[in-house]
Structure 1
Amino acid sequence: MPTQLTIRSVETPRDRKIFIDLPFRLYAGDPNWVPPLKGEALGLITPAKNGWFSHAKAQLFLAEEGGRVVGRISAHIDTLALEMPAAQGFGPGVGQWGLMEAEREDIFKALLARAEAWLRGEGMTRALGPISMSIWEEPGLLVQGYDHPPTIMMGHAMPEYRAWIEAADYARAKRLLTYEVDIIPEFPPLVQRIIKSGENNSRIRIRQVDKRKFDEEAAIILAILNDAWSDNWGFVPLTPPEIADVGVKLKPIVFNDLIRIAEVDGRPVAFMITLPDLNEAIAPLNGRLLPFGWAKLLLWLRAPKARTVRVPLMGVVKDLQTSRMASQLAFMMIDYIRRAAIAHYGATRGEIGWILDDNKGMVSIAETLKGRINKVYQIYARDL
């Protein structure tokens, strides 16, 4: 007799650990999957450890068959996303699902049906996915670039998942791109002239952040970010509780010379955050800091060396975005950080993204720097 497939809610701390453990088995043979630190992965789905839950709620589900866990999914609702204009992707009635893993397509279909039923029960009329779990964390399904590992805070997935999602009547809502840039050569002459012109402009100051004033610097960046990104597709404002939790997680890999704030006439108007690729350090740990992983990671954090640095976030305030100064500030910050990344961290490669595929300004900057698309992610949607 065929073994019965059951879908059940995650209710206990043990269930959450089982939820986190599943990908370690499913991706055991995939050399390009980077095992997350289990403590960090657990924190993502634990309300007390993730500030996103201050304005959101979620239900996790496990699929079991013959006494084995064979799949998982999350369904979630972000109350701030419900307040956004519908033209920007979210809006009233839009829920999300994510953290999806499954051994087979029939398992995925059963999980998705359960997640959709939960969303409908909460009054949602449209679903976006995969989003794991905030748009600021790991949005989208990898559909191009399976042949190399993701950088820090980017996702990986099985190639089969794309067909499974599209067979479930989901259509692409948005493409997210990452660009790989060789940072060793000098940037093209045009870019160098733009940078030099900015350096000769006494109104412009590009400064490093001061990690000793972490909270103050984070507040400056948050204010610019929420202004700069507010018209973008998928935008949901970051809140102080989220920033506090992200700060705890990322502070060990925040380095003054890799994060810059641009000021014009003394006013902070742009920023760029760059992180050494922590995935290069944690990949061999298989998700565990004990017994010796913590010591290896601590040594790396004291003097990090990384082949790749990633730019997860940058922005320019809206009132400058259509000006020539916007790209000038961006190129200046990118070049200053490029030099620091090479000199102090041994980097040879940069990754910019994710970038919305219709963000013409950022796409133009990446292409001017001779960047090439190395990974593509897609967010899907359908009416419930």
Structure 2
Amino acid sequence: MEFIPRIGITTGDINGIGPEVLLKALNTHRVNKICIPVLYGSGKHLSKYKNLVGMQNWQYTHIQDASQAQQKNFNLVNCLKGEYFDLTPGSLDPKAGQLAYDSLERATQDLKSGKIDALVTAPISKENIQSDTFKFPGHTEYLAQAFEKKDVLMFMISDGLRIGVVTGHIPLDKVKKVLSREAIASKLNLMLQSLKTDFGIAKPRIAVLGLNPHAGENGLLGDEEKQVITPVIEQYKNKGHLVFGPFPTDGFFASDNFRKFDAILAMYHDQGLTPFKMLAFDTGVNFTAGIPGVRTSPDHGTGFDIAGKNVADPGSMLHAIYAAADISRQRHEYNDLEAHALKHQKIDIENLKKEKN
């Protein structure tokens, strides 16, 4: 029986471009053929956006619970708890921040309980969503706590390019303080496991970037490469993993050297995301590796400067939905193979016991 993943999609900050790119992405015939979409947000606000983007004939079905979602429908779980409030595209509205949080919370609970197989999150305003219940720098940190994970990996993915970061949403002056052998090893473990489980790469090749200009120039421009990064790389090489580096960031990307690897581990946020967005902005996806559920999002922000103008490109949102469906299917297949292998292993053990008796 074919596995059709149930994909939850939040609308993000309703005054950003999230609803617009979501509707444009869903207005393709392919989406509800590859998954069962479950939208989390406000039907009244989405109806307003339907007119804004010229999709008056697009229809969705209200459901009370994600378990009621049907294939070939665009299913919507209403998350608006208070009264309807007017849209003010491009502005910060505390009510929109609360709706973004309520939608995210409901979708996350459904992901944890298995009612949906994956979650695609539209952009939130990290400023507007802050409250007593949301005190996180972004989705990644919120999901890590929700799934009780000490560590997760912000993994930017596109066709032919995957970049993870050791340190994420922290100020630059704190990067050196938290960068350690343990931190790098933890991210490498998450990356290796994800490449196998989520992307089907049995023996991945990973490039590790240096921290300092020219990867420290043999200690002249900093000793983090010699003292922290290189020892971890050697440790993984000795275990038989194909891990290489540390590479100077500028030359590594300028020479197209990155194309030789299945994934790249950067030391801090902008070191990884700047080249990624330059090379894959329209198709890039933010994937959270290391949690039991699958979560992706577009690699852009709320786009308040263009919100409500019907000019936002849905490419990244569409690829985030595709990636969520693809990774869900890959994990499902991987888990089936693991279960099949374990079953046969138990049978072999039982047969050996019988032979000995």
TM-score, length-scaled by structure 2: 0.27
**Bigger strand share:** 1
What TM-score, normalized by structure 1, do the two folds share? 0.26
Compare the two structures and name the one with the higher helix fraction: 2
